[in-house]
Amino acid sequence: MRKQKKIINQKSTTMFFTYTSKKQGNIHILTLTGELIDKNQAEKLIQEVNDIIQNNHIHFVVDLGNLKYLNSSGLTILIQILTKARKAGGEAVIANVGKRIKELLIITKLNTVFTVADTVEHGISKLNKLVSN
């Protein structure tokens, strides 16, 4: 598990973001945890996505179940993952989307861009259907 910290103000408030990556069949599951509020927090994540794609693994389920907060920078990271997968001929599905993040996706109309699933298992199922079409 990788961890990066960012101090956002003078108080001792620390925002953190971590992720894990695991392969399940031909799908990579990226589990995001914490608060994704700065693109610099996700540099290693994006590099890992690039490396995975270079190894011809192009399908992702992004598990947001442990992601507490996401802002426009965080949305940009999700869009980057989706775009990189699609450019390589693959797909990305987001799963376990909490209420606040789901509202953000609706407000920004990104719910029409992403395939959204209730659970990782449902995301894998949706991804398999998308890929087989």
pLDDT of residue 38: 87
Whole-angstrom CA distances from 52 to 2, 33, 41, 62 are: 16, 20, 19, 14
- Cα maximum dimension of the chain: 52
Establish if 118 belongs to a structural domain.
yes
Q: State which residues form the domain around 27.
A: 16-132
Tokens found for residue 98: 């909490």
What's the number of domains the chain is made of? Answer: 1
pLDDT tens column, 49-80: 999 999 999 999 999 999 999 999 999 999 99
What does pLDDT average to in each consecutive run of 10 residues of the chain (133 residues)?
43 71 95 92 95 96 95 95 97 96 94 95 93 77
Establish if 7 belongs to a structural domain.
no
Reported as type and span, the H/E element at residue 124 is helix 120-132
Establish if 4 belongs to a structural domain.
no
Tokens found for residue 9: 């103000």
Establish if 20 belongs to a structural domain.
yes
CATH number reported for the structural domain that contains residue 26 in this entry? 3.30.750.24
Establish if 5 belongs to a structural domain.
no
